Amino acid sequence: MTKAKNKKLELTLEQVTVQDEQYDNLKKVVFDDGAYTEVYEKFRPSRIETMIEQLANFLEEYEKHQGKIEDDSTIAKFLYLHVVVHFSTIVSEMPSEFSTKLDLFTKLADNVYVRKLEIHFDKSEVEKVYEMIFKRLDDYQNLIEQNTELSKKMSERVDKLNIQNKELLNWNQENA
């Protein structure tokens, strides 16, 4: 009986392949006037990661060119538009230049179909995007806290050393 249980738990390449295929399934979304697009039923985790990286890079570029983002609604808008780009068939290729991307996102944000598309994404899949974003933010916050803690420990150790020019070490550490 134990062998049978263990056999069921054994993961095979075939099972992995079958599971992976779920990320390729598209659902056709037809609008009232007959126009249509397709959305992914399941969001591939690696594609979510890529989307988050591209969103972060875009927001960084946005602030560099357009100024600081003052409200959460702008971030939410660009997050949704990145979901549209990565998890629907509306955009076949993402432009690389910032001004072209911004123009694309402006057109998408103003498009009536894109606005209606939101309800056609599976809510649990969109939640995965948010979960991954929050996990990344938590990881980043933990790194900052660990870095701060390590800096304090380093300062304490430097203070305990019998060195004449300790401030030089502290200066290098503060400016690192």
43 part of a folded domain = yes
| The predicted structure's pLDDT at residue 95 | 94
Please tell me whether residues 39 and 77 are part of one structural domain.
yes
99 part of a folded domain = yes
Per-residue model confidence as pLDDT tens digits over 130-164:
999 999 888 888 888 888 878 777 777 777 776 66
Please tell me whether residues 102 and 66 are part of one structural domain.
yes
84 part of a folded domain = yes
Please tell me whether residues 110 and 75 are part of one structural domain.
yes
**163 phi and psi angles, rounded to 5 deg:** -120, 140
Residue 6 predicted with pLDDT over 60? no
Q: How far apart are CA 79 and CA 76, in angstroms?
A: 5
| The predicted structure's pLDDT at residue 171 | 52
Going from the C-alpha of 150 to that of each of 32, 36, 139, 169, 172, the distances in angstroms are: 59, 54, 16, 14, 14
Q: Predicted confidence band at 118 (pLDDT cuts at 50, 70, 90)?
A: very high
Residue 173 predicted with pLDDT over 80? no
Pairing of β 36-40 and β 26-30 = antiparallel
Per-residue model confidence as pLDDT tens digits over 13-70:
888 888 889 999 999 999 999 999 999 999 999 999 999 999 999 999 999 999 999 9
Overall domain count for the chain: 2
Q: What is the pTM of this model?
A: 0.74
For 68, residues 6+ apart whose C-beta sits below 8 A from its C-beta are none
Q: How far apart are CA 134 and CA 139, in angstroms?
A: 8
**Which residue range forms the structural domain that includes residue 51?**
22-121
**169 phi and psi angles, rounded to 5 deg:** -65, -45
